[in-house]
Structure 1
Amino acid sequence: MNKTFKIYAVIFMVVMIILALLEVNKKESTDWRKNFDVNEKSPFGLFVFNNEVQSLLDHHIKKIENTPYDYYNQHQKGGHNILVIESDIDKESWKKILKEVTKGSDMMLIMSQIPKEISDSIGYYDSQLSFEEENVLKLTDRKFQNDFIKLDKFPSGRGFTFIKPNVQVLGKTVEKNNTDQVNFIKIQFGKGIIYVHSEPLFLTNYYLLKRGNTKYTQDIFSYLQNRETLWFVENNTQESTFFMRFILSKPALKYAWWIFLGGLILFIFFNAKRKQRVVPILDPLKNTSVDFVKSIGNLYLQEGDFHDMMNKKAQYFLNKVRLDLLIDTQNLNEDFAKKLHLKTGKTIEMINEAVVLIKKAQDPYASVMKEDLARLNSLLDEIIK
């Protein structure tokens, strides 16, 4: 087991231990986002309302996932009810809705921020009127005076100001430190009626599941006529086309995926440095000088030219004497032999014998035998050793 593998193993174990501790100590968190999604079971989703709306409106409700513009271009409708709850509707669709209302349909608009296309058309203005953490929603009609709902979680605090005379107030928000503010109004528009409520939280799971709160919701929708109601909802039910949708939708698979990505990043990080290629073992270069000399020697032996070899050996010796011992080699006489004797420490007899063989090698007419070459080579090597 190499060192790198041990490092990876330790890192992996530490990550797994940390994840296990986080999983054991994990507390379920509540999603308090105001999503108003009909499929969400979070506190501010519309899952409960979506399941109960059929009985609430006597089974006359019909959910429409197309835009109002597309729907009304394809369908001709008589008088009916229109329901819009915190939906993002385009400008052309609002025009289609208002056209239907003008012809005799009624619209129930429940939104915290009313689109300008609507407020300008029917004559009112909505704004943030309060920042209180709690308030109470009440209706102004005496027959509903005992029905109310208390908002204790993130009320929007929005209401209506600059209301025109033809706008009828149906409900208000009551707070301890503020005057009552209008949150539910009725406007006659052409042959139809528009109802606008500025606080959609009363329709969410959190408030509908509280005892007594459903009565307020029933009172609100009692203003609509008993006829078909088209509820325009945003199409949030389409399946995501993202290829990781299934993995990311499952907590266990999602954690495994992030661990895999983390491990991959660590692997890339530790192996980012370029690794050196394996250096091949090369045999050291052979000294072929000896082989070359042997080859040359064998050539001379085969040719039988002992005289030439002997002459070259003599020239090499004399050149070395000149360079290393600084002795003049022009005259190979008794004086030369004496100097060579003194500088090399060899016997005078050996040196004289070598001088005789050198002169024989230099004589082009001398007869040289193999034994002469061997003897000269032995003597010269001994002298300059």
Structure 2
Amino acid sequence: MFKKGWVYIAIGVLTLGAIFLMEYNKPKKINWFPSYVSHHKIPYGTLVLNDLMEKHFPDAIQQIHKPPFEFLTRTDSIKGTYFFVNESVSFEEAELNSLLEWVEQGNMLFVASRSFEKKLLDTLHLEQGSVYNNGLEPLFYYELVNPKFKNKPATFGKDYYTPGFDQIDTLRTTVLGQVYAQADSTDTITKHINTIKQPFGKGTIVLTSFPKAFTNYFILKDNNQAYTAGLLSYLDSKGQIYMDNFHKSGKSFYTSPMYLFLNTKEFKWAYYLVLIGALIYIIFEGKRKQRAIPIVPPLKNQTLAFTRTIADMYFEKGELHLITKHKIDYFLEYLRTKLHVSTQNLEDETFLRNLAMRSNTDLEDVKALIGMISKLRTKQYVTEIELKNLNQKIEAFKANVDGK
């Protein structure tokens, strides 16, 4: 019997080890979250973009981690291009006003986002819409309009629709890029505007509704880097390029101390094994060493028993007048503490009426009770019947006070 138990234990340990080995060697799931953070290596991070920018503009790139409003108002001599890229870039009103004032002074605003602030669109006389793919596969083609870019259109097949500009100010707006889907044999290809440039004051604003063109996945896929390079060629390379790190969907840094363990496969499984081992230790060792908890009965209230003992002593000795005296004294104390009345003059008519109103008792019953008390206080001998009558009247009086 003992050997058979060891066989079961060995089978369980081997099975558990096989499960851990399979989980450890399982391919890591790809994180497709659109973070757009500059140091993220996930598909929709922008590590490759920032490395390329640092390489081609080594002295012009500056990473900004402040809100644009704070950066522009608290920093002097800011000239160049402010570059934003995120799934959605939404400026507050004061923030947008400070950016537009800054552009009017001769600077450039470059924003890559799937959606834009309505006030910004109204200022530039633009309207956004969506471009859908009617085919079986979500595949879109992106191309630059300038004939100098003779490269093939870049393809992207992760979205079932893509934003575009339905309406533009044709007198002031320059179209830089277009997007279209592969048409069926019966349909014609319709191209939609997705990247524009427009002068604003002495400066320039460039908007593109395809921010994924600047992500790691898009740049490293096939020959798409030529499309991204074409978009970046519209940046003003003569001045500083301020890379925004504030308007991002993902976190720029992690504050949790557990991030190192849970983000590294080896540390994560080591952490899980420690938790499982601690749980097993608690289950088995806790059963062996746990002692029975003794039952401690609560202390009994001996007040009632003491009172009954004293009462029996008085009753056995025949000292009914003492019992009556104590009964009357306790009752008068009850009137003073419960009903807040003075018991100095029990025969006073005002006292009797006041006591009747406060105790919810008829005036005649109150007079009868007080009269009995006054009579028994002067007697030297009290019979058992008189004591019982007094007790009944007092209990009836207290019942009226409690509303019973």
Q: Scaled by the length of structure 2, what TM-score is found?
A: 0.59
CA offset at residue 245 of structure 1? Answer: 2.7
Q: Deviations over 1:121-149 (max 9, x none)?
A: 32212232224611211122222243532
Aligned match for 1:174, one of 162, 170, 180: 180
| Alpha-carbon spacing, 1:20–1:191, altered in 2? closer, same or farther (3 Å) | same
Opposite residue 62 of structure 2, the aligned amino acid is K
CA offset at residue 265 of structure 1? Answer: 5.4
2:83 is aligned to 83
| Alpha-carbon spacing, 1:76–1:157, altered in 2? closer, same or farther (3 Å) | same
CA offset at residue 31 of structure 1? Answer: 2.8
Larger radius of gyration: 1
Contact 2:37–2:251 (CA under 8 A) maintained in structure 1: no
1:74 is aligned to 74
SS at match of 1:40: coil
Q: Percent identity?
A: 22
Contact 1:56–1:218 (CA under 8 A) maintained in structure 2: no
Q: Deviations over 1:66-95 (max 9, x none)?
A: 111111121123542111111655413333
CA offset at residue 22 of structure 1? Answer: 2.6
Contact 1:80–1:229 (CA under 8 A) maintained in structure 2: yes
1:196 is aligned to 207
Aligned match for 1:97, one of 96, 99, 109: 99
- Show the 5 A alignment for 1:77-226: 77=77, 79-86=79-86, 88=89, 90-91=91-92, 92-131=94-133, 133-146=138-151, 148-154=153-159, 157-165=162-170, 166-177=172-183, 179-210=190-221, 212-225=223-236, 226=238
| Alpha-carbon spacing, 1:239–1:62, altered in 2? closer, same or farther (3 Å) | closer
Contact 1:40–1:47 (CA under 8 A) maintained in structure 2: yes
Opposite residue 110 of structure 2, the aligned amino acid is M
Contact 2:24–2:265 (CA under 8 A) maintained in structure 1: no
Q: Deviations over 1:189-238 (max 9, x none)?
A: 22221110111222222232245433322222222323221111238776
User: C-alpha distance in 1, partners of 2:160/2:243?
Assistant: 24
Q: Does 1:44 align with 2:44?
A: yes
2:22 is aligned to 21
Q: Scaled by the length of structure 1, what TM-score is found?
A: 0.61
Aligned match for 1:246, one of 260, 263, 267: 260
Q: Does 1:258 align with 2:272?
A: yes
Structure 1: segments with no counterpart, 5+ residues: 280-385
SS at match of 2:132: coil
SS at match of 1:186: strand
Give the count of matched residue pairs.
276
2:35 is aligned to 35
2:399 is aligned to none
Opposite residue 76 of structure 1, the aligned amino acid is D
1:233 is aligned to 245
User: C-alpha distance in 2, partners of 1:267/1:58?
Assistant: 57
Opposite residue 164 of structure 1, the aligned amino acid is D
Q: CA RMSD in A?
A: 3.5
CA offset at residue 264 of structure 1? Answer: 5.0
User: C-alpha distance in 1, partners of 2:105/2:128?
Assistant: 26
